[in-house]
């Protein structure tokens, strides 16, 4: 009986052992399965994170593209309006030319009738002279009034601020100029240039260009049709035209440098921020009041990302005039007027004369235009 019980217990132990082994095997399989599922979940999560990062990058890129397209669309709309105005002006001029031609044809016909009693040669001379006048005079008028129209821009209303501080920080109101040894250059440093790479060529053009343009005086209400004045795209070209000896050396050399520390004689700070005072551009010059000497000029241009090429170069051209020592102009059609509304915001002979006067020791930096 004992042997039977012992055999029975042995069988039970074997069965339990088998069951336990099966349970262990099942647990191990489930553990491996769970581990594999965990790895797969981690891979899926990593893939989803990667996809999310790509979507964020794509969204950022699309946002930038949208901003660029908006700016280009805005600029194209302005250019379209400008072209439409030019076409309208040209159509008006052509109509005037046609009317003048009809009047002259009538005069020619009248002269032909009056000249019947004269010989044929005399009649033909009169007719030829009238035809020449009818063609040349309207054409000459047409070409003269268009002189400079291609340089017309629509900068909108641009407001500038200008302040001078002495070494103690007090605001002063006086005449100021740089004191440079003849031949020395002014270093111009651009802050935040990496954020606005498309503005760097414009800055270089406004400062370093030597291009001169002729604009009909009638377009700026400064004279009759046919008379023109010379303007300059860049400050270097404007200043190099001066051959007059002045008491202090007029800057004629500019070096654009790259320094993140704000080094340089003139700094140009580009920002997307909006001016609290409503300025498009602002220039502050630090001066030694005892010597009426500019020590450093800081230019700030606001909302750069929203400015068209024409607007940006207009603001910079104006503010750089302040950085050289010029105050505001008395003439609304001039570049240096406090609120720039002119369609031709270029450097005039008036601005150059003011620079010459300033650096010759005259105690004023205001731009007064005679023409």
Span 194-251, pLDDT tens digits = 999 999 999 999 999 999 999 988 888 888 888 899 999 999 999 998 777 889 999 9
- pLDDT confidence band for 137 (50 / 70 / 90): very low
pLDDT computed for residue 294 by the predictor: 92
pLDDT computed for residue 156 by the predictor: 65
pTM of the model: 0.62
Torsional sign, CA 189, 191, 193, 194? positive
For residue 173, pLDDT beyond 80:
no
For residue 91, pLDDT beyond 50:
yes
324 compared with 72, residue with greater pLDDT: 324
pLDDT computed for residue 108 by the predictor: 55
pLDDT computed for residue 141 by the predictor: 41
The phi and psi torsions of 263 (rounded to 5 degrees) equal: -70, 160
Average predicted confidence (pLDDT) for the chain: 79
For residue 124, pLDDT beyond 50:
no
| pLDDT (mean) for 78-82 | 74
How many other C-beta atoms lie within 10 A of the C-beta of residue 334?
26
pLDDT computed for residue 106 by the predictor: 57
Report how far residue 369's alpha carbon sits from residue 371's, in angstroms, rounded to the nearest whole number.
6
In the chain, where the domains are located: 1-146, 158-359
**b/e sequence 235-273, b meaning 16+ C-beta within 10 Å:** bbbbbeeeeeebebbbbbebebeeeeeeebbbbbbbbee
364 compared with 268, residue with greater pLDDT: 268
What percent of the chain is modeled with pLDDT above 90?
30
Report how far residue 284's alpha carbon sits from residue 297's, in angstroms, rounded to the nearest whole number.
6
> Where does 158-359 sit in CATH, by number?
3.40.390.10
Coil, strand or helix at 214: strand
- pLDDT confidence band for 66 (50 / 70 / 90): confident
Report how far residue 300's alpha carbon sits from residue 163's, in angstroms, rounded to the nearest whole number.
12
Give the lowest-confidence range in 104-118, 135-149, 314-328.
Answer: 135-149
Give the lowest-confidence range in 105-114, 168-177, 305-314.
Answer: 105-114
For residue 12, pLDDT beyond 50:
yes
What percent of the chain is modeled with pLDDT above 70?
77
For residue 17, pLDDT beyond 90:
no
Question: Which candidate, 247, 271, 263, places its Cα nearest to that of 186?
Answer: 263
Give the lowest-confidence range in 103-107, 175-179, 347-351, 367-371.
Answer: 103-107
pLDDT computed for residue 142 by the predictor: 42
């Amino acid at each position: 009986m004992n042997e039977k019980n012992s055999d029975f217990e042995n069988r039970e132990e074997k069965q339990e052992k088998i069951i336990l082994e099966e349970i262990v095997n099942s647990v191990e399989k489930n553990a491996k399965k769970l581990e594999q599922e965990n790895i797969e979940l981690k891979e899926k999560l990593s893939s989803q994170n990667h996809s999310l990062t790509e979507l964020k990058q794509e969204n950022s890129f699309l946002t930038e593209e949208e901003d660029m397209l908006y700016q280009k669309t805005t600029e194209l709309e302005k250019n379209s309006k400008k072209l439409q105005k030019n076409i309208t002006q040209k159509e008006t001029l052509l109509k005037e030319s046609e009317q003048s031609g009809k009047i002259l044809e009538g005069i020619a016909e009248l002269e032909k009738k009056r000249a019947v009693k004269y010989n044929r040669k005399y009649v033909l001379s009169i007719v030829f002279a009238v035809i020449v006048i009818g063609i040349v005079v309207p054409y000459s008028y047409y070409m003269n009034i268009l002189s400079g129209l291609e340089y017309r821009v629509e900068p909108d209303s641009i407001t500038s601020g200008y302040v001078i501080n002495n070494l103690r920080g007090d605001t002063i109101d006086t005449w100021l100029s740089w004191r440079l040894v003849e031949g020395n250059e002014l270093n111009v440093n651009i802050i935040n240039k990496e954020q606005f790479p498309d503005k760097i060529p414009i800055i270089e053009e406004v400062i370093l260009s030597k291009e001169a343009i002729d604009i009909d005086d009638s377009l700026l209400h400064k004279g009759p049709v046919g008379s023109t004045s010379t303007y300059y795209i860049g400050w270097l070209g404007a200043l190099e035209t001066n051959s007059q000896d002045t008491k202090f050396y007029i800057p004629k050399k500019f070096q654009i440098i790259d320094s993140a520390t704000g080094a340089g004689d003139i700094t140009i700070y580009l920002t997307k921020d909006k001016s609290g005072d409503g300025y498009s551009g602002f220039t502050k010059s630090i001066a030694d009041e005892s010597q009426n000497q500019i020590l450093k000029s800081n230019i700030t241009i606001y909302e750069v990302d929203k400015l068209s090429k024409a607007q940006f170069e207009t603001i910079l051209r104006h503010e750089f005039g302040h950085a050289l020592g010029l105050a505001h102009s008395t003439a609304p059609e001039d570049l240096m007027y406090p609120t720039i509304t002119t369609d031709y915001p270029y450097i005039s002979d008036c601005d150059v004369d003011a620079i010459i006067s300033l650096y010759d020791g005259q105690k004023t930096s205001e731009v007064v235009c005679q023409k």
